[in-house]
Amino acid sequence: MFFKIINYQNTIIARYLLRNLVAFFIVVTFIIGLIVLGNQFVLTAQESIEYGIPLKELVPLVGFNMLRDIPVILSISLFISIIVCISQLYKNSEAVVMNTMGIGDKKFMNLIQPLVVFTFIAIACLTLYAVPWAKQQKNITENTTVNASEFSFITSGKFESFKDGDIVFYASDSQKINDLGDQSLEEVFIYASNDDNSVVVIAADAKKYIDSVSKSTYLRLRNGTRYEGLSSNTNINILNFESYDLEIVSGEVKKSIAALSEIEEKNTIDLIKEGGPFAIAELQWRISQPISILILSILGVLLGKSSPRGGKGINLLIGIVVFLLYNNGLLVAKSSIENGELNPIIGLWSVHLLVIVFLIIFYQFRQGNFAYFIDKIAFFNIKEKSHV
C-alpha cells in the first residue's frame, strides 16, 4: 500500500538504486551519529570533572541531546547519500546507460521516493513530538542533577568570563552557601571592559547572589580597590571601598533564555494555541525541518549528476555548502521572528522559497534549457530593429 501511494515502480533498476541508496544512508548516518555522540560524551565528561558531578548522572543528557540532533543528522545523511549514490552511477557509467533508456533526473527522483517519504515522516514525528519531549526531560534532569549551571556557578581557581567576555573573573576559593546558587568567594580579581575603558577590581572576599526582584546575578565585593583607566596610562582613578556590587549576569537575559527554553519544550498543539513571536518561530522551525528534506532530496539528485571523468567530490562539497547555507538561513529567519525583525507571515517560508527558486534555475541549467528561458525574457532578448 505504501509503495502504491508514492507511485513506486518495483523494477530491477528501482530495487538496485534504492538498495544502494539505503546502504549509503545507513553508513553515512552511522558515521555522523557516531561523531555527534562522541562529541556529546566528551563534553559531558568534561562537565562531570569540572563540576564534580558523577558521570552516570550526566549520561542521560547525552541521550536527550542525541534525540534533539537526530532530525538534522537524518537530513544531512540522506542529502549526502543521494549525492553519493547518483554520483556513483555516473562514475560507473551506469547512469549514462540509464539515460539512453529514458531514465533521467525525474525518474531518479521518483525511484528514491520510498526512502525520502520514510525519512520525511520520521523527521516530522521527531520535530513535532519527540524533540520537544527530549528538551523538556533534559531541563528536568539538569535541574535535579546539575542544579546550578555554568551560567550561574563560579569555579574556584579558574578564570571565567561573563557578558560575552566583557567581565573576566577569578577567585582563589569558593564555597556554596545555599541551593539558590549563592556563593562565598575569597581573593577575588576582576577585569572589566566598559566603553573602551578598562576597570580592575581586587577584593579580599565577595558573595555571589541573585536579586529576588530583577533576577540578575551580582557579586557583592568587600574590602577592595577599584582601578579605572589603566589602559590609557592617564587619569587613573583609584577607589578603595568597603562594599561594591557588580552585575555579572543580567536578569533580562536570563528571563529571555528561560522563555525561549520554555517555548522549545512545549508540544506542538500548545504552540499553535499560544501564538506570539517565539511560539510562531518555533512552530515554523519544526515544520521546516521535514519540508527541507523534500527540497534537499531533489537538489541531491541534481548535484549527483556528473561526468565520469569529472572531479571527484566537488558535487559533495557543493552539497555540504548548500546544506549549511540552507540550515543557517532557517536559523537566522527563526531568530529574526523572535526578535520582531521579520514578519511571521514571511518567516521561514521565504528561505524555502529562495531555495526552490534556486532549485528551478539549477534544474533548467542541468537540462540545458537555461539559455532558452533567458532568451524568452525581454530584458535579455535584445534584437536589432529592422529598418524598412
pLDDT along the chain (388 residues), means of 10: 50 83 93 87 69 66 83 93 88 74 78 90 92 80 52 63 72 69 76 74 81 74 80 69 76 55 77 83 91 92 73 80 93 89 90 91 73 54 46
265 and 139 inside one domain: yes
- Do 243 and 309 fall into the same domain? no
From 249, 267, 288, the end of a domain falls on 249
Cα of 208 vs its chain's centroid, Å? 32
- Establish if 385 belongs to a structural domain: no
- For residues 141, 143, 146 and 147, what is the CA-based torsion angle, rounded to 10 degrees? -160
pLDDT at residue 370, rounded to an integer: 56
CA Rg value for the chain = 28
Domain hosting residue 237, numbered range: 164-249
Q: Residue 204: inside a domain, yes or no?
A: yes
Domain count, the chain: 2
Instruction: Write down the residue that cell numbers 528561505 correspond to.
Output: 351
Residues paired with 208 in a beta bridge = 183, 219
Q: Do 303 and 241 sit in the same domain of this protein?
A: no
pLDDT at 108: 82
State the Cα–Cα distance between residues 110 and 94, nearest whole angstrom.
Answer: 17
pLDDT score at 331 = 92
Q: How far apart are CA 97 and CA 121, in angstroms?
A: 33
Residue 387 counted as domain residue: no
Taking alpha carbons only, the member of 240, 237, 199, 198 closest to residue 221 is 240
**Which of 227, 249, 271 is the last residue in one of the domains?**
249
3-state secondary structure of 149: coil
Q: Are residues 309 and 182 in the same domain?
A: no
Q: Are 306 and 91 in contact (CB under 8 A)?
A: yes
Do 89 and 213 share a domain, yes or no? Answer: no
**pLDDT for 2:** 42
Please report the pLDDT score of residue 228 as a whole number.
Answer: 78
Is residue 384 in some structural domain? no
Q: Do 233 and 266 fall into the same domain? A: no
The set of residues, in sequence order, having a beta carbon less than 8 Å from that of 298 and lying 6+ positions away, is 109, 359
**First and final C-alpha spacing in the chain:** 67
183-194 and 160-162 beta bridge pairing:
unpaired
Residue that is written with C-alpha cell 535579455 in the block: 380
CA distance linking residue 320 with residue 147, whole number of Å: 38
Tell me, yes or no, whether 136 and 33 share the same domain. Answer: yes
Residue pair 285/348 in contact (Cβ under 8 Å)? The answer is: yes
Please name the helix (run of DSSP H) or strand (run of DSSP E) that holds residue 376, with its range, or none. Answer: helix 370-376
- Residue 97 sits in the same domain as residue 183: no
Task: Report the alpha-carbon distance of residue 162 to residue 165 in Å, rounded.
Answer: 5
Give the pLDDT of residue 152. Answer: 45
Q: pTM of the entire structure?
A: 0.68
Do 88 and 170 have their domain in common? no
How far, in Å, CA of 79 to CA of 25, rounded? 9
- Residue 384 Cα distances to 56, 162, 381, 387, angstroms: 79, 67, 10, 9
- pLDDT of 116 reads 92
38 with 139, same domain? yes
Give pLDDT, residue 5: 42
In terms of residues, how long is the chain?
Answer: 388
Q: Quick check: is 312 in a domain? A: yes
**Residue 219: what are its φ and ψ, rounded to 5°?**
-110, 120
Closest listed residue to residue 79, CA positions, set 292, 257, 228 = 292
Domain identity same for 115 and 197: no
In a domain, residue 65? The reply is yes
**Same structural domain for residues 228 and 271?**
no
- 383 in any annotated domain: no
- Let me know if residue 127 belongs to a domain: yes
Residue showing cell 581557581:
157
Instruction: Decide which of 228, 249, 270 is a domain's last residue.
Output: 249
